[in-house]
């Protein structure tokens, strides 16, 4: 296990380097610059700014300087948020995104696993068709449509919940953004669970458990659920990282100061260091969650050889 974990971590290093190089090159070739504004700066001031932030150096030298800072845990200063470093902005935005994304993924797992299992146990029945119809609806309707509808119904008409913002951080402010984030994930998890559970329930070891007279609850929870979770776990690796750092639309609609909102503002303002910092952070999360998924496979199914 330790050898496998060490090898997986070693493969993450070239992956991150390729990600860094591509992101660094793409953001530099994009039109515009971090100091472009409606009012054009005098050439001498722009030259001094470029010199201060080392933007007048060749790209390979800038890339080497950036890698040297990363090795020391320094993401560099933000070009647009003058009084903040990128590390401070990520530290401020990530807890908000983590809270929203974590609650949304937890809700998606609880509801999606229950719906998918129930549909699999009643395959081809009206219940099964109804659950899959709801799942397809959740997948088909984008979040930028569903979120305003939820605001219109629960905040404007019924006035049960706040329309946006985090307020004091109470649960009432979290309900609508969390539900909006969770709905597509609930649909995907439900469909994956149904398909996987149907396949597992047809396995020989499940037939043996039924022949021994075990109750249905024990068969599902004790024998079928763990192997049925394998495709869901595979999906949850990148999905969890994406929902935590990529909830851009939800954060914009509800006015939540999360990591995704900083990424959008950084891209619009050509804030090179901020965009690079979020990309690196997101890449590390993807690799970390996929690493956890690989380790979880062995626990869920001992037949899987690392």
Give the pLDDT confidence score for residue 304 in this predicted structure.
59
Give the pLDDT confidence score for residue 35 in this predicted structure.
62
DSSP β-bridge partners for residue 77: 85
Q: Which residue has the tokens 């935005």?
A: 93
Give the pLDDT confidence score for residue 41 in this predicted structure.
60
- Rama region for 167: left / alpha / beta (φ>0; ψ in -120 to 50; rest): left
Question: Does a structural domain hold residue 187?
Answer: yes
CB 82 within 8 A of CB 49: no
Among the listed residues 31, 56, 30, the one whose alpha carbon sits nearest the alpha carbon of residue 43: 56
Q: Identify the CATH number of the domain in which residue 164 sits.
A: 1.10.3720.10
Tokens (6 digits) for 41: 């700066």
Question: Does a structural domain hold residue 146?
Answer: yes
CA dist 44 and 164 (Å) reads 44
Question: Does a structural domain hold residue 19?
Answer: no
CB 115 within 8 A of CB 186: yes
Question: Does a structural domain hold residue 235?
Answer: yes
CA angle 197, 203, 205 (to 5 degrees): 115
CA dist 285 and 95 (Å) reads 14
Question: Does a structural domain hold residue 43?
Answer: no
With both helix axes pointing from N to C terminus, report the angle between 230-245 and 272-300 in degrees, rounded to the nearest 10. Answer: 160
Give the pLDDT confidence score for residue 43 in this predicted structure.
66
How far the first Cα of the chain sits from its last, in Å, is 8
pLDDT tens string for the chain (306 positions)? 677 667 777 777 888 888 888 888 887 777 666 666 545 666 666 677 666 666 667 777 778 877 887 888 778 778 777 778 888 888 888 888 888 888 888 898 899 888 888 888 888 888 888 888 888 887 788 877 888 888 888 888 887 888 777 766 678 888 888 888 888 888 888 888 888 888 888 888 888 888 888 888 888 877 788 778 878 887 887 787 777 765 777 877 887 777 777 777 777 777 778 888 888 888 888 888 877 777 777 666 666 555
Total of domains in the chain: 1
Question: Does a structural domain hold residue 216?
Answer: yes
Question: Does a structural domain hold residue 234?
Answer: yes
Question: Does a structural domain hold residue 135?
Answer: yes
Query: What's the length of the chain?
Result: 306
Domain boundaries, position 226: 93-267
């Amino acid at each position: 296990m330790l050898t496998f974990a060490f090898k997986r971590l070693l493969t993450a290093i070239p992956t991150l380097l390729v990600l860094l190089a591509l992101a660094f090159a793409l953001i530099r070739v994009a039109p515009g610059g971090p100091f472009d504004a409606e009012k054009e700066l005098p050439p001498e001031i722009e030259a001094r700014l470029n010199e201060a932030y080392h933007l007048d150096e060749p790209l390979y030298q800038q890339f080497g300087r950036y890698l040297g800072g990363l090795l020391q845990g320094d993401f560099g200063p933000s070009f647009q948020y003058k009084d903040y470093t990128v590390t401070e902005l990520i530290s401020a935005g990530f807890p908000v995104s983590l809270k929203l994304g974590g609650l949304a993924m937890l809700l998606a797992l609880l509801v999606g696993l229950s719906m998918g299992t129930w549909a699999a146990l009643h395959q081809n029945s009206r219940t099964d068709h109804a659950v899959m119809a709801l799942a397809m609806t959740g997948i088909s309707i984008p979040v930028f449509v569903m979120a305003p509808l939820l605001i219109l119904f629960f905040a404007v008409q019924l006035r049960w919940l706040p329309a946006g913002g985090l307020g004091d951080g109470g649960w009432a402010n979290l309900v609508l953004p969390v539900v909006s984030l969770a709905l597509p994930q609930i649909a995907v998890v439900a469909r994956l669970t149904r398909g996987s559970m149907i396949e597992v329930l047809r396995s020989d070891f499940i037939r043996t458990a039924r022949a021994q007279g075990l109750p249905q609850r024990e068969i599902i929870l004790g024998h079928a659920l763990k192997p049925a979770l394998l495709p869901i776990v595979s999906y949850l690796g990148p999905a969890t990282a994406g929902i935590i750092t990529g909830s851009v639309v939800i954060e914009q609609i509800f006015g939540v100061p999360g990591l995704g909102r900083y990424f959008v503002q950084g891209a619009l303002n050509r804030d090179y260091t901020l965009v690079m910092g979020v990309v690196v952070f997101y890449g590390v999360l993807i690799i970390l969650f996929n690493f956890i998924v690989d380790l979880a496979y062995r626990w869920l199914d001992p037949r899987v050889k690392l």
